[in-house]
Structure 1
Amino acid sequence: MARSKLKRLLARMVPSGDVVESTVKSGLWVLSQNAVGRVIQLVMLVILARLIGPAQVGLIGIVLLTLSALKQFTNLGFNAALVQQREENVDGHLSTAWVLMGARGAIIALSMVLAAPFVATLFGEPETTAMIRVLAVSPLVLGLKNPGVVYFQKNLEFHKQFVYRISGEVLQFVIAVGYALVWPTAWAFVVAYVVSNVFRALVSYLIHDYRPRLSFDRDVAADLVGYGKWLTGTSILYFLYSEGDDAFVGWFLGPAALGFYQYAYRLSNAPATELTQVVSSVMFPTFSKMQDDLSVLRDAFLKTIRINALVAFPVSFGIVVVAPDFVRTFLGTEWTPMIPVMQILAMYGMMRAFTKVFGSVWKAVGRPDYVTKLSAVRVVLIALLIFPLTQRFGTVGTAGLITGLYVFPMVPLDIYVMKREIGTGYGDILGEAVYPFVAGVLMAGGVWAVRSTLALSPPFSLALSVLVGAALYLGLMGLFESLFDVGIKQNVDLVRSSFSD
């Protein structure tokens, strides 16, 4: 009986029906994928932080920065180009994309091998030379993964993508923790990363029946490159504004400071941005299907940022309040220098999460250049200000710069471009953030008052803060819904109806 009910539930969970129903079901699969994957990643990071310490974590940061730089500088944007195509069947494009991605992977791998000693010299950490060269295996094998997995996103088949992604996350966790328990060094992460990506490449052929051929079509390549060129520029700029600060901190302040800064970023941004990444991942293909009807697209966009605000705001304000207890409980006292950085970056994560879906709309309507151009503005401003602020205030200054620039001018510019593209106003967009923002501030104030009054030890204070915060926020949003019809009930009813018989 229980088994049959489970089968019926899983059958209902498979994305099907009209665009709205498929989108809702896909969103739940991506939510599950990101939630499970992020929990696995965070637990792994916490365990590694305890086992290997900030300096070794900083070495991991240097190695990953090298890989990330080469990946972003050679990102061809082919997946987004294939998803954005109006045609449902893109098999004719896949073999060419596979050849190009394989060549890209080989170039990245060779570049890492050659660049390794120079990167090690730049950061003054010779041990990273061998780590970078071993990590070069990952882009090589992932470049040859089955290109058919793009259909998981294009066709909203996120239940299959769940299996593909989570299997690799689980394997990485097991290997990294097991290795660190025996040999507590940065190599634990490097070895686990490589093995898990080799595994993912193999799984891609088991989970999708498409088989690429060694063929190349110049017209198809020109079509893919024509769309993806703006995404290539965006990826380069994304690295400069999202990880350029990491590289600067590692070079200017050293590996330990880099370890503090990267962990502060990951822990402060992960809950809000990963949950809203779910929405953005699902909505890009959905927006692409709506690209010819701006009124429908505009309505879907506003509903999406409402969901993002409902999730991101309470989580981010909550992180600001509980950061001291969290760090002392899970990472230990040697990690306390990252607390103020974590609190500042939580606000950055909140705003990133709220505006996450903007880029999905621009890509869906064929204007990925907006993302590139706005990213260029941010990169220039960071380049002008990062040295004096980091020199004066350390990693707190770096975090303050990244957050402050997002408040102004980036968010106002994002909203201005969205208004011009699909006709939404400042009031329409900011109106979706008002009630979650007010509820988040009041929640944070209530949690802070309870913590200050009771003065419990960090583990108990953390647990109580989470419970009080959740109760306060849900109560406040329930009150706002009953008084002002915020739209929560409408969203809940939509999800419920998608799973009804």
Structure 2
Amino acid sequence: MSRKLTSLVRRLVPSGGTGQRAAKSAVWLFGQNMVDRLLPLVLLVILARLVGPLELGLVGIALVSMSALRSLTEVGLNEALIQRIEDNVDRYLNTVLAMEIARGVLIFGVLFLAAPFIGRLFDAPAAVPLIQVLAVSAVLRGLKNPAVVYFQKNLEYHKMFVYTTGGTLAFFVTGLALALWDPSAWAWVGAFLASDLVRLVASYLIHDYRPGIGFDRQAAGELIQFGKWITGTSILYFLYNEGDDVFVGWLLSPVALAYYQYAYRMSNAPATELSQVIAGVMFPAFSKFQTDVERLRESYFATVRLASFVAVPMGIGFAVVTPAFVAAAFGTDWLPMVAAMQLLALYGVYRAIGKTMGALWKAVGRPDYVTKLSLLKVALLAVLIYPVTVRWGITGTAALIVAVNLVVMAPLDLYITAKILETTSTRILSEVTYPLLASAVMAGATWYVGQALVLPAWIELCVMVVTGGVVYAAAVLALDLGTNWGMRANLRQLVSNVVS
């Protein structure tokens, strides 16, 4: 048994051509993201039952404060190293370490000193010590071995799997132990610090590169020249992805913030995992043939086809089962977030597919597209978020996120992507049509079963999920046999790339 397992792991180590390496890397990255998201979500459900929305709202304030400063100081060093055409980027690593340490110390200092002001802003003085202790995380992250960038650059995701999941396991074990000992917001903060500490140690154990202390101004300038657009994108990403969190927490309450944050996190989890895999693997893969438009185009079509095949049913299916899921996992105290969670699940579908576009734009050296479109998105949200949130609460905020992305941003994203690939928006959209049809059939069947059943929430949820999976598989098979979709052939090719 152990010999077979060892053989399987060896076959999954990324090797071969770009396609094979990308496919095998996707397996590792998907497994990594499953662990990296599933265990924290399980811990979140446990804490939600033990401490309730108010304590988790305080955690949300601390996390959004940390995220704001990380976004403001992000200079895109890893992206710049991955995008460079040369394989060996050792000459940049000492400079990267120096810059990351400086960034970590800066974030720690600002958060520690600003914590009382943040507590007053949200009318949540209990969040102040949480923010100050969580700030240590920034220093731990800044000290990690910069050579871990090679795991992504060279598609060595089996090493990234070990590095990331080690921290995730530490997060879960520490958080669970603290939650059982003293159920409070401190369990979540302690889990974060344990995770970052384990990853810091692992970064030096897994990669043999040992950085020195040094700073090369020319090397820093080269990286920042590419990364300046990443900086702008990071700030704007925070504003449109978490700015609504800040607004909800400030305008409404920490409890409303907890509802909104965890509605977003849970509803986007399935599609987000897929998008992280796609963006993580396809950015370096696209970069390797950024000058060959034909190969880039065909690779992108295949990527969108697979992303849609998985993300569309995940998002639509989650929206259908949300009431049963919240009742089963969180309890009745959390039912006010159901409508927002359903809307945000639909946004998760667009987000997963949109991530493929961002990876493509960065791979061809145009990260400015991401920044410029993000600026437009932030402007639209800034104008509209106050009236809809005052009128409809977190449900209105969620509806605004969906409307801005689907009505305004999606057509622009399609236009730019089609221009880069020298194709049409219609051609790109055609890759989403069949999954939408199959998912519509699945949604109807799942909803009907949910309405017909009168069972305990957990049993009802399980029956609905199984029904959805079976109906979607049957619909996909019928469409593939009756049209030229070719999904079965794509899946066979993917499996071949993974196991060969």
Q: Compute the TM-score of the two structures, normalised by the length of structure 2.
A: 0.99
Name the SS of the counterpart of 1:455 in structure 2.
coil
Change (3 A) 1:499 1:189: closer
Tell me, in whole angstroms, the C-alpha distance in 1 between the residues paired with 2:364 and 2:302: 18
Matching residue of 2:114:
115
Where in structure 2 are the equivalents of 1:20-419 lying within 5 Å?
Answer: 20-419=19-418
Name the SS of the counterpart of 1:211 in structure 2.
coil
Tell me, in whole angstroms, the C-alpha distance in 1 between the residues paired with 2:81 and 2:222: 10
Following TM superposition, by how much is the alpha carbon of 1:199 offset from its aligned partner in structure 2, in angstroms? 1.6
Name the SS of the counterpart of 1:356 in structure 2.
helix
Name the SS of the counterpart of 2:485 in structure 1.
coil
Tell me, in whole angstroms, the C-alpha distance in 2 between the residues paired with 1:319 and 1:422: 32
Name the SS of the counterpart of 1:148 in structure 2.
helix
Name the SS of the counterpart of 1:216 in structure 2.
coil
Tell me, in whole angstroms, the C-alpha distance in 2 between the residues paired with 1:259 and 1:229: 33
Following TM superposition, by how much is the alpha carbon of 1:101 offset from its aligned partner in structure 2, in angstroms? 1.0
Deviations 1:268-295 (A, max 9, x none): 0001111232122100000000101011
Tell me, in whole angstroms, the C-alpha distance in 1 between the residues paired with 2:494 and 2:216: 42
Tell me, in whole angstroms, the C-alpha distance in 1 between the residues paired with 2:418 and 2:312: 23
Name the SS of the counterpart of 1:490 in structure 2.
helix
Following TM superposition, by how much is the alpha carbon of 1:259 offset from its aligned partner in structure 2, in angstroms? 0.4
Name the SS of the counterpart of 1:48 in structure 2.
helix
Deviations 1:134-168 (A, max 9, x none): 11111111111000100000000000000000011
Deviations 1:26-66 (A, max 9, x none): 01000111112221121111111111100001000000010
Q: Which amino acid aligns with 1:395?
A: I
Following TM superposition, by how much is the alpha carbon of 1:4 offset from its aligned partner in structure 2, in angstroms? 2.1
Q: Which amino acid aligns with 1:117?
A: P
Tell me, in whole angstroms, the C-alpha distance in 1 between the residues paired with 2:480 and 2:276: 25
Q: Which amino acid aligns with 2:382?
A: A
Name the SS of the counterpart of 1:485 in structure 2.
coil
Maintained 8 Å contact 1:21/1:498:
yes
Maintained 8 Å contact 2:98/2:213:
yes
Tell me, in whole angstroms, the C-alpha distance in 2 between the residues paired with 1:481 and 1:431: 14
Maintained 8 Å contact 2:104/2:138:
yes
Name the SS of the counterpart of 2:213 in structure 1.
coil
Unaligned runs of at least 5 residues, structure 2: none
Name the SS of the counterpart of 1:184 in structure 2.
coil
Deviations 1:373-403 (A, max 9, x none): 0000000000000000000000000000011
2:476 is the alignment partner of 1:477:
yes
Of 484-493 and 188-197, more deviation after overlay is shown by 484-493
Following TM superposition, by how much is the alpha carbon of 1:128 offset from its aligned partner in structure 2, in angstroms? 1.2
Name the SS of the counterpart of 1:456 in structure 2.
coil
Tell me, in whole angstroms, the C-alpha distance in 1 between the residues paired with 2:278 and 2:296: 15
Where in structure 2 are the equivalents of 1:440-455 lying within 5 Å?
Answer: 440-455=439-454
Name the SS of the counterpart of 1:434 in structure 2.
helix
Q: Which amino acid aligns with 2:147?
A: G
Change (3 A) 1:417 1:20: same
Following TM superposition, by how much is the alpha carbon of 1:499 offset from its aligned partner in structure 2, in angstroms? 4.5
Following TM superposition, by how much is the alpha carbon of 1:500 offset from its aligned partner in structure 2, in angstroms? 4.9
Q: Which amino acid aligns with 1:60?
A: V
Deviations 1:401-438 (A, max 9, x none): 01110011100010111122221311111100101011
Name the SS of the counterpart of 1:394 in structure 2.
helix
Tell me, in whole angstroms, the C-alpha distance in 2 between the residues paired with 1:56 and 1:461: 29
CA RMSD, 1 decimal: 1.0
Tell me, in whole angstroms, the C-alpha distance in 1 between the residues paired with 2:496 and 2:311: 25
Following TM superposition, by how much is the alpha carbon of 1:457 offset from its aligned partner in structure 2, in angstroms? 2.5
Name the SS of the counterpart of 1:355 in structure 2.
helix
Q: Compute the TM-score of the two structures, normalised by the length of structure 1.
A: 0.98
Matching residue of 1:436:
435
Change (3 A) 1:182 1:294: same
Tell me, in whole angstroms, the C-alpha distance in 2 between the residues paired with 1:267 and 1:10: 31
Deviations 1:423-480 (A, max 9, x none): 1311111100101011111111111111212332211110100000000000000111
Q: Which amino acid aligns with 1:405?
A: V
Name the SS of the counterpart of 1:370 in structure 2.
helix
Of 275-284 and 257-266, more deviation after overlay is shown by 275-284
Tell me, in whole angstroms, the C-alpha distance in 2 between the residues paired with 1:39 and 1:113: 30
Q: Which amino acid aligns with 1:275?
A: L
Maintained 8 Å contact 1:276/1:311:
no
Maintained 8 Å contact 2:283/2:360:
yes
Q: Which amino acid aligns with 2:110?
A: S
Matching residue of 1:421:
420
Tell me, in whole angstroms, the C-alpha distance in 2 between the residues paired with 1:91 and 1:29: 25
Name the SS of the counterpart of 1:285 in structure 2.
helix
Change (3 A) 1:109 1:500: closer
Matching residue of 2:463:
464
Of 413-422 and 20-29, more deviation after overlay is shown by 413-422
Matching residue of 1:497:
496
Deviations 1:63-102 (A, max 9, x none): 0010000000100100000000100000011111111111
Maintained 8 Å contact 1:265/1:345:
yes
Maintained 8 Å contact 1:35/1:275:
no
Tell me, in whole angstroms, the C-alpha distance in 2 between the residues paired with 1:3 and 1:191: 35
Deviations 1:466-496 (A, max 9, x none): 0000000000001111111323222222223
Maintained 8 Å contact 2:12/2:499:
no
Tell me, in whole angstroms, the C-alpha distance in 1 between the residues paired with 2:152 and 2:299: 18
